[in-house]
């Protein structure tokens, strides 16, 4: 993790200026100034710049970064697509020496982006003890506490006096981000934590076990990262110790690592509700975007046919009274909108842990009733407008009825589909919008055209 | 902010058990055990429980919490709806003494939930210097760095020796969350920061100005909270000092406060894309849900009429060849899906700061081309299926053409609408899905029914 010393002032303008200047320096002879400037830029800013360069320029910049020992931390900040480009243009040796400068978890993140073969080649070149720590870390699932944590946490004995602890801190390697001491027994079972503040402010002869906090929030190494994020959010923590099944301290997670998890989880919800592949960004090349979106659009097309075939049942009615074809998409569309409202509420509820499956039936009924009430009101407005348009009371009545029915269906399906997916241990957002809108299309067409067919005599005078 | 000492172990099961037990204790005589249990629960857990109680039980629990001096921090954790209920059942006096136990920013959050009159009444009862700090804080916008920061930051002179600084820390009030010392000149201009780690590990006669980091990330007090969140995410910070326009230190923001901002921002995007009011949750009473959703559904209804009226133009064609009514929603629907894909990508891009308006034209063209390509492919599939269904080559051709056109429109509008909203300094997600789907409905109906009308002779043999 970068240390404050490497932080530029964060005014975006200043940052932009530096980047533009650097870009010029890199493109024309000016290496020396470029180096001086690079040394003052934060890796995150260099990474942003990196994406703007041509492969040739990237190669050149990479060389300079290697000299400045900034390459590793810059690489860490790049998007996974750009990272793969860099891997391609960097031999195993330099790549290994870059990774060697990162924390084990950061190194693991990068190694996970490489194919099996390359990964082994690079691992073989890493300093053995570091490589061992990395391999050990890779045993944990990418999306668990084990995948997030930094395993290099020093533990202290409870019998250590505050003064001695401070003395030991002085011997530790640069660890500006160390804010809590973890107190463990000889077998590394976590006994408590001592904040650096408590250490500094207590008499130097007090024992750590006397000043430590015993009742600490911990997370299990196999806890899913979304749950870890919820623990941080719930208890306003900055750092959390990670323990294994025997309560042994195996690492610690800092809240800034969780920030990314929260953003990724939110993006995932958004993307899945819109039937987007989570790997797509605005930077994705068009050809790849097409490939990533096509399967979802095809699935959509097939379900659209299901709805259309319902319309197909009533073509006779439409031939006799074509105006139905005009109002039909309105009834279906309103249902789709109402369904998406409920669906989104449910998906977010699951994501933020506000919703548990035990309450699901009451939630279902509530969402249905909200749908029904909105359907009754929207249907009334629709009926009025259609009456002004067509002056056909029967048509208006059918529109009113069909809207009420379809928005009830919308509330029901909008709540039922994500709940079902969750019960099946699937992501409640995955493909759910497709099922919900299909249901509201079918419901809308069936309720509207079906009733119209029954009342056709009265309808088409 | 709660201190580690108050943290229970975070295993959800244990938490659930405690809550259920407490619920029983509160509902039957068992106050004494209830108190012992409450003292061990984290305010966040008590808050969760609070929502499950009847008003009467809430009143009782509130009394106990007041005795235990836990009321304030529990209140802080409640949802805004429940908070208002508590305000209603608590007289000004106790309410003021609760707020007095919070940090000024937390107190401000609660005061902002009260109506003008009540707020003034409570403020008048607060300890004057605290009230002054609160009023001062309320001058800043709720959604800015000023609204997030804690103004109570102690600053240190650069001439202070590390040893003296430690001595001064001992005199400070309980501040377990203090991890950095802010070094300022006599007029409180920020000169640098000293991490507690650096303080502990350097010789006690070193001056702070010798060990401080000069190049620090800071945020301006008027910076929007989303930008603050991006600064934290970008530079992996735990705490950031807040300065005013003259570079004077006015407070500090901790990353765990930013965690909420990130989650709220993501929820906002999701909700706005689904046309939900950001105040609605699964806990919102049905009647209120209906009120909150109705305006959006009405807006949707009106735009649906725009699309429907396009169908109205071609009723003659539909009468002659009713099968068009069956395929018409497919073409429109596929456009809606493709438009939502692009729209979501854009909204997230703006939210994560990946997208700047200078690049907008190239993004627009790229999204259009992706839409066109998908339209060409999806249209081909649609044409094939429809041929198997109807054996009408003209119809299949029209479907192919209309799909290609409409998905191009989808890509264009999906990118253009949020960009336009952003240029108008509005939220790119606000109502944009309504405009995009209306455009794709109109586009779909026009392209499909329009072409069908032109080729009607060949179509309906």
Q: Quick one: pLDDT at residue B38? A: 78
Nearest by CB to residue A344, choosing from B276, B327, B437, is: B276
Cα–Cα–Cα angle for B144, B97, B92, rounded to 5 degrees? 90
In B196-343, beta strands by DSSP E: 219-220, 239-243, 249-254
Chain B residues touching A44 at Cβ < 8 A: 234-235
Q: Quick one: pLDDT at residue B410? A: 96
Q: Give helix B432-454 / helix B323-351 axis angle, nearest 10°.
A: 150
**A190 lies in the same domain as A64:** no
Cβ separation A297–B378 shorter than 8 A: yes
pLDDT in tens, A108-132: 888 988 888 999 999 999 999 889 9
Are B346 and B428 within 8 A, CB to CB? Answer: yes
> E strand or H helix at A181, and its extent?
strand A180-184
CA distance B90 to chain A (A): 25
Q: Quick one: pLDDT at residue B65? A: 83
Q: Is A286 exposed, middle or buried (0-12, 13-18, 19+ CB in 10 A)?
A: middle
Residues in chain A: 461
Residues 6+ apart with CB under 8 A from B234: A10, A42, A44
Q: What percent of chain A has pLDDT over 70?
A: 93
Chain B residues touching A263 at Cβ < 8 A: 233, 262, 266, 352
pLDDT in tens, A36-76: 777 777 888 888 777 777 777 788 888 888 888 888 888 88
Chain A residues touching B352 at Cβ < 8 A: 263, 267
Q: Quick one: pLDDT at residue B177? A: 66
Cα–Cα–Cα angle for B265, B269, B274, rounded to 5 degrees? 145
In A387-454, beta strands by DSSP E: none
Q: Quick one: pLDDT at residue B226? A: 86
Kindly give the confidence (pLDDT) of every residue in chain B, 461 residues in length, as a single tens digit, with 9 standing for 90 and above.
333 333 334 344 456 666 667 777 766 655 677 777 777 778 888 887 777 777 777 888 888 888 888 888 888 888 777 888 888 888 898 889 888 888 888 888 889 888 889 999 999 999 998 899 889 888 888 889 998 898 888 889 999 998 898 888 887 765 556 788 999 999 999 999 998 888 888 888 999 999 998 888 899 999 999 889 888 888 878 889 999 999 899 999 988 888 888 888 888 888 998 899 988 888 788 899 999 999 999 999 999 999 999 999 999 999 999 999 999 999 999 999 999 999 999 998 888 777 777 778 889 999 999 999 999 999 999 999 999 999 999 999 999 999 999 999 999 999 999 999 999 989 899 889 999 999 999 999 999 999 999 998 888 76
CATH no. for residue B213?
A: 3.10.580.10
CATH no. for residue A345?
A: 1.10.357.20
What ipTM goes with this model?
0.78
What is the C-alpha to C-alpha distance for residues B323 and B307, in angstroms, rounded to an integer?
19
Are B181 and B193 within 8 A, CB to CB? Answer: yes
**B102 lies in the same domain as B185:** no
- Closest listed residue to residue B108, CA positions, set B99, B120, B121, B118: B99
What is the C-alpha to C-alpha distance for residues B229 and B254, in angstroms, rounded to an integer?
10
**B139 lies in the same domain as B173:** no
Q: What percent of chain A has pLDDT over 90?
A: 44
Tokens 């019960």 — which residue?
A423
Q: Quick one: pLDDT at residue B27? A: 66
Q: Quick one: pLDDT at residue A381? A: 96
Nearest by CB to residue B218, choosing from A5, A10, A347, is: A10
pLDDT in tens, A294-310: 999 999 999 999 999 99
**A318 lies in the same domain as A370:** yes
Cβ separation B370–A319 shorter than 8 A: no
Are B6 and B42 within 8 A, CB to CB? Answer: yes
Q: Is residue B327 part of a domain?
A: yes
**B142 lies in the same domain as B165:** no
Chain A residues touching B282 at Cβ < 8 A: 345-346, 349, 354-355, 363
Are A440 and A332 within 8 A, CB to CB? Answer: yes
What is the C-alpha to C-alpha distance for residues B371 and B339, in angstroms, rounded to an integer?
8
Chain A residues touching B354 at Cβ < 8 A: 281-283
Q: Quick one: pLDDT at residue A4? A: 37
Q: Is residue A209 part of a domain?
A: yes
pLDDT in tens, A388-434: 999 999 999 999 999 999 999 999 999 999 999 999 989 899 889 99
Q: Is residue A337 part of a domain?
A: yes
Q: Is residue B269 part of a domain?
A: no
- Please, which pLDDT band fits residue A371 given cuts at 50, 70 and 90? very high
Nearest by CB to residue A4, choosing from B193, B196, B270, is: B193
Q: Closest-CA residue in chain B for A44?
A: B234
Chain B residues touching A326 at Cβ < 8 A: 308-309, 311-312, 315
**B235 lies in the same domain as B360:** no
DSSP string, B52-65: TS-HHHHHHHHHHH
Q: Quick one: pLDDT at residue A14? A: 56
CA distance B252 to chain A (A): 15
Cβ separation B266–A269 shorter than 8 A: yes
Q: In which domain, by residue range, is B183 found?
A: 155-254
Cβ separation A300–B441 shorter than 8 A: no
pTM assigned to the model: 0.78
Q: Quick one: pLDDT at residue B453? A: 95
What is the C-alpha to C-alpha distance for residues A412 and A409, in angstroms, rounded to an integer?
5
Nearest by CB to residue A169, choosing from B200, B259, B273, is: B200
Q: Which of A95, A116, A148 finishes a domain?
A: A148
Q: What tokens appear for A284 in the block?
A: 């994705």
H helix runs in A313-359, sequence order: 315-320, 323-351
Least confident range of A25-29, A261-265, B36-40, B423-427: A25-29
Cβ separation B337–A260 shorter than 8 A: no
| Best of A40, A201, A268, A365 to mutate (most B CBs within 10 Å, chain B) | A201
**A46 lies in the same domain as A188:** no
The chain-wide mean pLDDT, for chain A, equals 86
**B312 lies in the same domain as B452:** yes
Cβ separation B340–A4 shorter than 8 A: no
**B94 lies in the same domain as B166:** no
Q: Quick one: pLDDT at residue B170? A: 81
**A384 lies in the same domain as A304:** yes
Q: Which of A208, A239, A254 finishes a domain?
A: A254
Give SS3 for A216.
Answer: coil
CATH no. for residue B88?
A: 1.25.60.10
| Best of B174, B192, B322 to mutate (most A CBs within 10 Å, chain A) | B322
Q: Is A399 exposed, middle or buried (0-12, 13-18, 19+ CB in 10 A)?
A: buried
Chain A residues touching B11 at Cβ < 8 A: 220
Q: Is residue A183 predicted with pLDDT exceeding 90?
A: yes
**B120 lies in the same domain as B188:** no
Q: Which of B254, B269, B297 finishes a domain?
A: B254
Cα–Cα–Cα angle for A164, A166, A171, rounded to 5 degrees? 95
Q: Is residue B281 part of a domain?
A: no
Q: Taking residues A87-109, report their average pLDDT.
A: 86
Cβ separation B197–A169 shorter than 8 A: yes
What is the C-alpha to C-alpha distance for residues B243 and B234, in angstroms, rounded to an integer?
19
Q: Work out how many CB contacts closer than 8 A connect A with B.
A: 376
Least confident range of A375-379, A457-461, B101-105, B226-230: A457-461
What is the C-alpha to C-alpha distance for residues B6 and A216, in angstroms, rounded to an integer?
8
Cβ separation B236–A219 shorter than 8 A: no
Give SS3 for A143.
Answer: coil
| Residue B60: CA count within 13 A, CB half-sphere | 16
What is the C-alpha to C-alpha distance for residues A144 and A220, in angstroms, rounded to an integer?
9
What is the C-alpha to C-alpha distance for residues B350 and A299, in angstroms, rounded to an integer?
28
Q: Quick one: pLDDT at residue B7? A: 38
Cβ separation B9–A217 shorter than 8 A: yes
| Best of B231, B341, B346 to mutate (most A CBs within 10 Å, chain A) | B341
- Closest listed residue to residue B307, CA positions, set B275, B332, B327: B332
Q: Is residue B267 part of a domain?
A: no
**B162 lies in the same domain as B138:** no
What is the C-alpha to C-alpha distance for residues B265 and A407, in angstroms, rounded to an integer?
28
What is the C-alpha to C-alpha distance for residues B334 and A297, in angstroms, rounded to an integer?
7
State the total domains in chain B: 3
Edge-to-edge order in the sheet of strand B180-184: B155-156, B180-184, B190-195
Nearest by CB to residue A195, choosing from B42, B176, B256, is: B176
Q: Is residue A79 predicted with pLDDT exceeding 60?
A: yes
Residues in chain B: 461
- Closest listed residue to residue A199, CA positions, set A172, A163, A171: A163
| Best of B329, B340, B352, B381 to mutate (most A CBs within 10 Å, chain A) | B329
Chain B residues touching A348 at Cβ < 8 A: 267, 270-271
Q: Quick one: pLDDT at residue A11? A: 41
Q: Is residue B83 part of a domain?
A: yes
Q: Is residue B279 part of a domain?
A: no
Q: Quick one: pLDDT at residue A376? A: 96
């Amino acid at each position: 993790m970068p240390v404050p010393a490497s932080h530029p002032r964060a005014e975006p303008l200043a940052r932009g200026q530096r980047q533009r200047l650097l870009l010029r320096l890199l493109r024309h002879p000016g290496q020396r100034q470029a180096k001086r400037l690079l040394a003052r830029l934060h890796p995150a800013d260099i990474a942003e710049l990196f994406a703007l360069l041509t492969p040739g320029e990237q190669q050149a910049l990479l060389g300079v970064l290697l000299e400045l020992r900034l390459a590793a931390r810059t690489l860490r900040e790049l998007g996974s697509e750009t990272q793969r480009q860099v891997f391609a243009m960097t031999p195993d040796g330099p790549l290994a020496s870059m990774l060697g400068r990162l924390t084990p978890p950061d190194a693991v993140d990068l190694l996970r982006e490489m194919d099996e073969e390359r990964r082994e080649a690079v691992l073989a070149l890493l300093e053995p003890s570091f490589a061992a720590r990395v391999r050990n870390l890779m045993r944990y699932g990418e999306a668990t506490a084990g995948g997030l944590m930094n395993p290099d946490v020093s533990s202290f004995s409870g019998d250590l006096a505050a003064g001695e602890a401070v003395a030991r801190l002085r011997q530790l390697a640069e660890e500006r981000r160390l804010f809590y001491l973890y107190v463990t027994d000889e077998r590394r079972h976590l006994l408590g934590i001592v904040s650096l503040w408590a250490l500094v402010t207590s008499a130097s002869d007090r024992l750590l076990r006397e000043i430590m906090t015993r009742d600490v929030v911990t997370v299990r190494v196999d806890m899913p990262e979304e749950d870890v994020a919820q623990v941080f959010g719930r208890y306003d923590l900055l750092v959390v110790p990670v323990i294994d099944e025997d309560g042994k301290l195996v690492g610690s997670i800092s809240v800034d690592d969780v920030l990314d998890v929260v953003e990724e989880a939110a993006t995932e919800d958004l993307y899945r509700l819109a039937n987007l592949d989570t790997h797509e960004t605005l930077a994705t090349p068009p050809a790849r975007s097409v490939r990533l979106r096509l399967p979802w659009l095809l699935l959509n097309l097939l379900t659209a046919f299901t709805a259309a075939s319902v319309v197909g049942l009533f073509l006779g009615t439409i031939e006799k009274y074509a105006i139905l074809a005009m109002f039909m998409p309105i009834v279906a569309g309103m249902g789709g909108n109402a369904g998406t409202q409920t669906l989104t509420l449910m998906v977010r509820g699951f994501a933020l842990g506000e919703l548990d499956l035990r309450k699901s039936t009451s939630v279902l009924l509530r969402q249905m009733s909200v749908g029904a009430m909105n359907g009754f009101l929207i249907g009334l407005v629709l009926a009025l407008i259609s009456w002004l348009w067509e002056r056909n009371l029967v048509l208006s009545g059918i529109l009113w009825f069909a809207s009420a029915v379809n928005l009830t269906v919308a509330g029901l399906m909008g709540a039922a589909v994500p709940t079902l997916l969750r019960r099946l241990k699937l992501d409640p957002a995955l493909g759910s919008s497709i099922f919900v809108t299909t249901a509201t299309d079918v419901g809308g067409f069936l309720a509207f055209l079906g009733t119209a067919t029954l009342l056709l005599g009265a309808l088409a005078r």
